[in-house]
Amino acid sequence: MLGKQMMCGAALLLMAGQARAETIEDKVAVCAGCHGEAGKPIDKTIPTIWGQQAGYLYIQLRDFKRGDRKSEIMQPIATQFERDDMLAIAEYFSQKPWPDLGQPRAPKDVAAKALSASASVGCPACHLDRFQGDGTVPRLAGMGRDYLAKTIADFRTRARGNNPGMSDLMIATSPDDLAALVEYLAGL
């Protein structure tokens, strides 16, 4: 895993200059280094961005640039983009097909536990039916398991600082329930 991440970082160093390129394809070329050539991230802790909601992708790029969301890799990349670039990149990836990561469905008891936890804090009110997301709210169905686990953990510690409302909801939910949610969402 470490090896892949180093490769991802090295690829970015080589390709970062292309963020200033003219065409959208040139602008997004840098992204494939980590998020994958065909939408499958090269590492399990990296999120799927193919088929993700455009509003969500834009807000994340904006927040990386502002420093509201921390990432040594993403921050220098996002800093090079203006708002229109970010919107165009977000739209570009939102139109790509969501990749099938081949993650197994959660067993029934785990799914039931996950849905009880989801109902308790009201996940579908924003993530919508079947966790498809919309607008600035991300799709979670079929997202990489390790990324989901890491993100939820980071929300709980507020290391992921660009959505304190999500942190509040994750803090109010038990680690057991969150583990079930991760398994359930990854398998959708």
**What type of residue is 44?**
K
Angle, helix 83-94 to helix 54-66, in steps of 10 degrees: 140
Q: Out of 41, 55, 138, 144, point to the residue binding another protein (CB under 8 A).
A: 55
Q: Out of 3, 84, 100, 102, point to the residue binding another protein (CB under 8 A).
A: 100
Q: Does 75 bind another protein (CB under 8 A)?
A: no
Residue 117 CA to residue 112 CA, distance in Å, equals 9
Residue 23 CA to residue 122 CA, distance in Å, equals 41
Residue 50 CA to residue 172 CA, distance in Å, equals 30
Nearest distance from C-beta of residue 22 to another protein, angstroms = 22
Nearest distance from C-beta of residue 37 to another protein, angstroms = 19
Residue window 108-147: x/- pattern of binding to another protein, with contact defined by CB under 8 A: x--xx--xx-xxxxxxxxx-xxx-x-xxx--x-xx-----
Residues in contact with another protein, counted by CB under 8 A, come to a total of 52
Q: Does 16 bind another protein (CB under 8 A)?
A: no
Whichever of 7 and 128 has its CB closer to another protein, that residue is: 128
**What type of residue is 149?**
A
Residue 158 CA to residue 123 CA, distance in Å, equals 19
Judge contact between 31 and 49, C-beta under 8 A.
Answer: yes
Q: Does 87 bind another protein (CB under 8 A)?
A: yes
Q: Does 97 bind another protein (CB under 8 A)?
A: yes
